[in-house]
Amino acid sequence: MSDARTPAQIEADIISRREQLAVVLDEIGVRVHPKTIIGDAKAKVAVTVDRTAGRAYVAVNRAVSDVRGQFVSPSGSPRLERVIPAALLTVGVVGLVVVTSRRGRR
């Protein structure tokens, strides 16, 4: 089989390929441009930070819910059998810190 294209068809193909190549080279130029690379890197970092912050929020929310569950009953009333000892312990620690800091000043 021989190629039965005319010189005008060959020239049109060359022009078409040249235009396609120019588009591809422009796309490559945009992709490897430093601003594009920096923008892509910033976007990846932002996604990573958002994901990490989201995970941290979920973890803190879960911890707060767990602690709240220890001191508040499902009906919403405080569990005095747990609140009173925790309050006494807190008052004792604060009192110890105050007494210790006053002794250090003398």
- Please check whether residue 47 is in contact with residue 41, taking contact to mean a CB–CB distance below 8 angstroms: no
Distance CA 71, CA 87 (A): 11
| pLDDT at site 74 | 87
Is the pTM above the cut of 0.85?
A: no
Q: Evaluate the CA torsion angle 38, 41, 45, 46 in order and state its sign.
A: positive
- Please check whether residue 72 is in contact with residue 66, taking contact to mean a CB–CB distance below 8 angstroms: no
Position 4 confidence tier, pLDDT thresholds 50, 70, 90? confident
| pLDDT at site 103 | 82
Q: Spell out the SS3 assignment of the chain.
A: CCCCCCHHHHHHHHHHHHHHHHHHHHHHHHHHCHHHHHHHHHHHHHHHHHHHHHHHHHHHHHHHHHHHHHHECCCCCECHHHHHHHHHHHHHHHHHHHHHHHHHHC
Q: Is residue 94 scored above 90 in pLDDT?
A: yes
- Compute the mean pLDDT over every residue in the chain, rounded to the nearest whole number: 91
